[in-house]
Amino acid sequence: MTLFPYLVAGWILLAGIYGVVRSRHLVHTVVCVSIAQSSTYVLLLAIGYQRHATAPIFGPANPPDSPVVDPVVQAMTLTDIVVSATVTALLLALVILVAKRHGTVVPDRLHALRG
Partner 1 sequence: MGALPALVVVWPIAGACALLVLGRILPRPAVDGLALLIAAVLVFLTVRLLVDANRGPVVTWAGNWQPMPHRTVGIVLVADRFAAALVVLIAGLTAVALLFGWHYFDNLRAHYPALVLLFAAGMCGFALTGDLFDMFVFFELMSVAAYALTGLEIEDPESVQGGLNFGVINSLGAYLCLFGIGLLYAHTGQLGLAQLAGVLAGQQRETVVVVAFALISTGWLVKAAVTPFHFWLADAHAVAPAPVCVLFSGVMAPLGVYGVARLYWATFTVAIPSVAVHRMSLVLAVLTMVVGTVMCMLQRHLKRMLAYSTIAHSGMFLLGVSTLSPAGIAASAIYLCGHAAVKGALFLMAGALLAHYESLDEHRLYGRARRHRLLGVLFVTAAVLLAGFPWSATGLGKALLEESGHSVVLGVLVIAVSAGTGGVVLRAGLRIFWGLGRRPATADDAEETTGAREESDTDTPPGRTPATMLTAVLMLLLAAVTLGLPGVLGAGTGSAAGAFCDPAGYTARALHTVPAALPPAPPEVGWTGIGLGLAALSTTAAVLVAVLGLARVSRATPAGPVRMLHRLHSGHLGDYSAWLVTGCALLTGLLWLP
Among 7, 15, 78, 90, binds partner 1 (CB under 8 A): 90
Residues 68, 54: contact at Cβ < 8 Å?
yes
* DSSP code string of 58-86: -BTTB-TTS-B--HHHHHHHHHHHHHHHH
The pattern of x and - marking residues 13 through 42 that bind partner 1 according to CB under 8 A reads x--xx--xxxx--x--xx--x--xx-xx--
Instruction: For residues 18 and 33, give the distance between their C-alpha atoms in angstroms, rounded to a whole number.
Output: 10
- Which of 90, 81, 71 lies closest to 37, judged by CA? 81
Question: Which CB atom, from 47 or from 68, has the smaller least distance to partner 1?
Answer: 47
Binding site for partner 1 (CB under 8 A): 9, 13, 16-17, 20-23, 26, 29-30, 33, 36-37, 39-40, 43-44, 47, 72-73, 76, 79-80, 83, 86-87, 90-91, 94-95, 97-98, 101-102, 107-108, 110-115
